[in-house]
Structure 1
Amino acid sequence: MLAADAPEPITSAGHAQLGIAVLLGIAVIVLLITKFKLHAFLSLTIGSLALGAFAGAPLDKVITSFSAGLGSTVAGVGVLIALGAILGKLLADSGGADQIVDTILAKASGRTMPWAMVLIASVIGLPLFFEVGVVLLIPVVLMVAKRGNYSLMRIGIPALAGLSVMHGLVPPHPGPLIAIDAVGANLGVTLALGVLVAIPTVVIAGPLFSKYAARWVDVPAPERMIPQRPSEDLEKRPGFGATLATILLPVVLMLAKALVDIVIDDPEHQVQRVFDVIGSPLIALLAAVLVGIFTLGVPAGFSRERISQLVEKGLVPIAGILLIVGAGGGFKQTLIDTGVGRMILEISEDWSIPALLLAWLIAVAIRLATGSATVATVSAAGLVAPLAADMSTTHAALLVLAIGAGSLFFSHVNDAGFWLVKEYFGLNVGQTIKTWSIMETIISVVAGGLVLLLSLII
C-alpha cells in the first residue's frame, strides 16, 4: 500500500526514463501474454524485472520490491479469495445455486425473464469468480432458452452482465479487493458505492442492451451444450431462503460495519470495535463459509469427509489466480519503489484530467492490451495509488470503482472470457464481438460515467 511519505525510490531515473520504463515493462507483459502465450504470473514477474532494469534500478532491490509486493498482496487478499472459492464450491455442489435459479425462474415468464436472469446472475455472482459463474449459469441460460423458446441473447446477455458487473465492481471479488488494498480505500464504503453503481449499470448492459443483441445475433441454443441435470440431486437441495441468506451474509456484515463507522465515527467506541471485527472481510467470509456448511452442506447430506474434500477441491482452481494476483502486487510495488507512482503524482498536478478519469483510461489501455481484467486492475491500481493520498474516503472508493470499470472495457480475442462465451453460446468471432464485447464496453462506459457523476455529488 502506498503512503504519501513513501521511501526514496530505488533508482535516480528522471521522469522521461521512468515513463519509458513503464511503457516497456507493460509492453513486455503484453507481448509475453499475447504473443508467446506465457502464463500471466510468469509474464508479470518478468515484466516487473524488466521495468526495474529499464528504470536503471539495481536488480537485487527490484527483486526485493517484487517479493515484498507479492507477499503483502497475497497476505491482504489471498485468504479472502480462498474463502470465496470455498463458499462458491459449497454453493455449487450442494445444489444451492440451482435452488435459487429454479425458484426465481418459477416466478418469471415472458418479458420478466431477462430481468430474472440478471437478478439470478447478480446474486449468484456475489461469491463466485466470473469463470465459475459462467460455467454454473450458462447451462441454465441454455436450458431456459430452449425450453421456453426464448432468444438466446435475450436471456444470455443479462446473465453475463450480472456476472461481469459483480466481478469488476463489487468486493469480495479479487479485482476490487486488490484495488482497495492498493489505494487504501475503505472496503465497506467501496462495497456500498459499488452496489449503487452496479444496479443501473447492469440494467442498461443487461435487459436493455439484450433487446438489440437479440436482433443483431439471432442464434438458437446449441444442443451439444444443453445439460441434463440429474433428478436425484433435486430432493437434497437446501432451501431458497437459507441459501440466499448464506450468500448475502458477508455483504450484510461488511455493509453493517461501513454504516456503523459512519454513524458512530469513534474507533474507540465499543460497538464500532465489535463491528470492525465482524464486518472485516476475513471474518465476514469465514462466517459465511461456516454458516454455509450447516445451511448448504448438511441439507445436501454431505458428510464431514465430503465437506473436507469439497474445501480441498474448491481451493485447487484458485492457485493460478492467487499467483497472478500476487505477481500483480509485486508489479505494483515495483512501480512504487522505482518512483513511478511519485512521478505520476507530480505530473498529474499540472494535468487538467480528473484523477478518476485517468484511472479509468489506464485500466482500459491495459485491459485492451492484455485481455485480463485482473492484470488491468492490479497494474492501474499501482500506477494511480499515489493519487488517493489526499482523497476523501468516498473518493478513494470511487477511484477503486473507476479502475474496476476500466478493467472491463471491450473484451476481445486475447481474453479467456471471450472464448468461454463464444463456445458456450455456439457463436462465431463476429457474433461474439457484437454481443459479449459490446456488452462489456457498455458496462465499462456506463459504470465509469456513473463514478464520475458520483464524484461531483459526494
Structure 2
Amino acid sequence: MTRLSVEMLAADTVQPITSAGHVQLGIAVLVGIATIVLLITKFKLHAFLALTIGSLVLGAVAGAPLDKAIVSFTTGLGTTVAGVGVLIALGAILGKLLADSGGADQIVDTILAKAGGRAMPWAMVLIASVVGLPLFFEVGIVLLIPVVLMVAKRGNYSVMRIGIPALAGLSVMHGLIPPHPGPLVAIDAVGANLGVTLALGILVAIPTVIIAGPVFSRFAARWVDVPAPDRMLPQRASEELERRPGFGATLATMLLPVVLMLSKALVDIVVDDPTNINQRVFDIIGSPLIALLAAVLVGFFTLGRAAGFGKERLQQTVDKGLMPIAGILLIVGAGGGFKQTLIDSGVGQMILDISKDWSIPALLLAWLIAVAIRLATGSATVATISAAGLVAPLAADMSTTHTALLVLAIGAGSLFFSHVNDAGFWLVKEYFGLSVGQTVKTWSVMETIISVVAGGLVLLLSLVI
C-alpha cells in the first residue's frame, strides 16, 4: 500500500471508534496482546484465530462498539491482503519453481564445489542468503538441511559450524529483506518506500549475517560439538530430473526482482521528477508486483523449461506453490486487522502522545516493542505486524530513509531470542538432533545476535543518513 493510500485510510479513521483515555487504552493493548499470547502458547490456537479474537478483545476492553471493532478488523485484513497478498503468492511460486526445477540444488552444488576448509562456513552463509531471498524461512530450512548434513559428514565438520551460518542467512533474509511477509507488512503499515527499505536492508544484513553466521559459529561449535546425526537424508529435487537449470540462469532469475526494485529506488533518488519518462518506466517495472511477476514468468523458461517441465508440470508447480501459503496469508491478514483495530481505537495516537515526552529514540522504541511481542508470542511475523501497527504514527514526520529504518528496526526486534514458544526453535532442534539446552545455546543465541547487531546498525545509520 502506498503512502497516499495509507494517508487516505488514516483520513477515513480520524475519529477513534472509542473515547477511552490513555490508561484504558494501555490496559486494552496489554489485554489484547495477552489474549493472543495465551491462545497461541497455552491453547495452541492457530495464529489467525488468536489474532482475530485478540483484536475483538482489544476493541471490547477499549470500549469500542462491537460492530465498529469488527469493521476495523475486516478493513485492516482486507487492505493488508490487498497490499501484500499477491506479492506473497508470487514469492511462493518463484520459490517452488526454484526447488522443483533443481535450480536451488544447482546454486548449492556450484558454490560448494568451489569452497572447502575454512571457506565452507562462508559458502554456507552465501548459499543460504541467496536461496533465502525468494523462500520462506521454513522452506529454506527444509531445502538446505540435506546440504548442511552432507557437508558436515563429508568434511567432518561440527553441525553447528556449518548449520549456524545457513540458519543465520535464512533468518536475516526472513526478518529484514522484502519480499518476505514480515518486512512487506511493516512497509505497508508505516508507508515506507520498498526500494529504499530493500537497499538499506541489504546494507544492514551483510555485516549482521557475517557476525551471527561464520563468526558466531566458531563459538557455537565449541559450546555444542555434535556430529551430523545419522538419518535418512530427504531426496533432493534434482535426483528425479534428467537435467536442471544452469547456475547463471538460476542466479539471474532469483536476483531479477531485487535488481528491478533497487533500480527503481536508484532512479527515484537520481532523477526525482515524477513527470520524467524514464522514472515513470522504472516506477512500473520496479514495483514489487511487476518485479516478482517478471521473475516468475522468466522462471517458467529459465527454471521450469530448462528442467524439462511441460505446461502441465508447470501448472502443478504453481498449484503446489500456492497451496501452503493459505495459512500465511490468513495470519498476515489477521495481523493487519489487529493493527487497524489498534489504530482505530486510538492506540497509535496514544503512543505518539506519550512518546513525545520520552527521550528514547523512535527507532529504539520500535525495536523494544517488537522484542517484547516476539518474546511473548514466539512469532516473528506476529511481532512485526503488531509492532508496526503500534508505531505507525511515529512515521508521519519521518524522512523516506528513516521510515525505511523504522521498518528494519521492527524487523530486527522481531528476531530476538527464539525460544520454546517458536515453531522455528523446534524445527531446528529436531533437524539437527539437539537437546533443548543445546538449541538455546546455539539457535536462540544466534537469533539474539542478529536482533541486537541489526538493531544497533539501524540506530547507527539513523545518525548518518
> What TM-score do you get using the length of structure 2 for normalisation?
0.97
Query: How far is the alpha carbon of 1:226 from its aligned partner?
Result: 2.9
Tell me the CA shift for residue 430 of structure 1. 0.3
Equivalent residue, structure 2, for 1:69:
76
2:218 aligned with 1:211, yes or no? yes
How far, CA to CA, are the matches of 2:232 and 2:371 in structure 1?
32
Aligned residue for 1:108? 115
- Is 2:393 the partner of 1:391? no
8 Å Cα contact 2:412/2:450 also seen in 1: yes
Q: 1:237 aligns with which of 232, 241, 244?
A: 244
Aligned partner of 1:291 in structure 2 is 298
Indicate which of 27, 38, 45 corresponds to 1:38.
45
Residues 17-96 of structure 1 aligned to structure 2 (within 5 Å): 17-96=24-103
Q: Deviations over 1:396-436 (max 9, x none)?
A: 00000000000000000000000000000000100000000
Post-superposition Cα deviations, 1:76-126, rounded to whole Å, max 9, x if no partner, equal 000000000000000000000000000000000000000000000000000
Aligned partner letter, 2:464: I
The 5 A counterparts of 1:173-192 are: 173-192=180-199
In 1, Cα distance between equivalents of 2:145 and 2:269: 39
AA matched with 2:196? V
Is the CA contact (8 Å cut-off) linking 1:139 and 1:225 kept in structure 2?
no
Partner of 1:251: 258
Does the CA contact (< 8 Å) of 1:183 and 1:396 recur in 2? yes
Does 1:260 pair with 2:228?
no
In the alignment, residue 292 of structure 2 is paired with which amino acid? L
- Aligned counterparts of 2:93 and 2:151: Cα–Cα separation in 1: 28
Distance in 1 (CA, whole Å) between partners of 2:240 and 2:285 is 34
CA distance in 1 between partners of 2:37 and 2:30 (Å) = 10
Written as runs of structure 1 = structure 2, the 5 A alignment for 1:246-325 is 246-325=253-332
1:117 alignment partner in structure 2: 124
Task: State the secondary structure of the residue aligned to 1:224.
Answer: coil
Kept after mapping to 1: 8 A contact 2:102/2:238: no
Paired with 2:292 and 2:152, the residues of 1 have a C-alpha distance of 34
Identity of counterpart residues, as a percentage? 86
User: What secondary structure does 2:307 align onto?
Assistant: coil
* Higher mean C-alpha deviation, range 389-398 or range 227-236: 227-236
Q: How many aligned residue pairs are there?
A: 458
Equivalent position of 2:150 in the other structure = 143
Query: Residue type matched to 2:340 in 1?
Result: Q
Deviation by residue 1:321-380 (Cα, 9 ceiling, x = unmatched): 000000000000000000000111111110100000000000000000000000000000
Distance 2:403 2:306 in 1: 42
- The answer on whether the counterparts of 2:99 and 2:237 sit within 8 Å (CA) in structure 1 is no
Alignment check: 8 A CA contact 1:408 1:444 kept: yes
Runs (5+) with no aligned partner, structure 1: none
Correspondence 1:220 to 2:217: no
Unaligned runs of 5+ in 2: none
| Alignment partner, residue 433 of structure 1 | 440
Provide the rounded CA distance (Å) in 1 between the counterparts of 2:161 and 2:108.
17
Residue 334 of structure 1 pairs with residue 347 of structure 2: no
Alignment partners' CA distance in 1, 2:398 and 2:434: 45
Confirm or deny that 1:132 pairs with 2:132: no
Residue 152 of structure 1 and its aligned partner are, at CA, apart by 0.8
Aligned AA (2:322): L
Inter-partner Cα distance in structure 1 for 2:294 and 2:413: 32
Give, in angstroms, the shift of residue 290 of structure 1: 0.2
Q: Is the 8 A contact 1:145 1:152 kept in 2?
A: yes
Please tell me whether the aligned partners of residues 360 and 406 of structure 1 are also in contact (alpha carbons under 8 angstroms): yes
RMSD, matched Cα: 1.1
* Residues 113-168 of structure 1 deviation map (CA, whole Å, 9 limit, x = unaligned): 00000000000000000000000011110011011111110000000000000000
Instruction: Tell whether 2:204 aligns with 1:197.
Output: yes
Once residues 225 and 328 of structure 1 are traced to their aligned partners in structure 2, the CA distance between those partners, rounded to angstroms, is 38
Deviation (angstroms), 1:231: 7.1
Q: Does 1:424 align with 2:431?
A: yes
State whether residues 2 and 385 of structure 1, in contact with CA within 8 Å, keep that contact through their aligned partners in structure 2: no
Q: Please, which of 363, 366, 386 is the counterpart of residue 379 of structure 1?
A: 386
Task: Name which of structure 1's ranges 262-271 and 2-11 shifts more when overlaid on structure 2.
Answer: 2-11
Q: Which amino acid aligns with 1:213?
A: A
**Matching of residue 448 in structure 1 with residue 448 in structure 2:** no
In 2: Cα distance, 1:429 partner to 1:398 partner:
34
Structure 1 stretches of at least 4 aligned residues deviating more than 6 Å after TM superposition: none
Normalising to structure 1: TM-score of the pair? 0.99
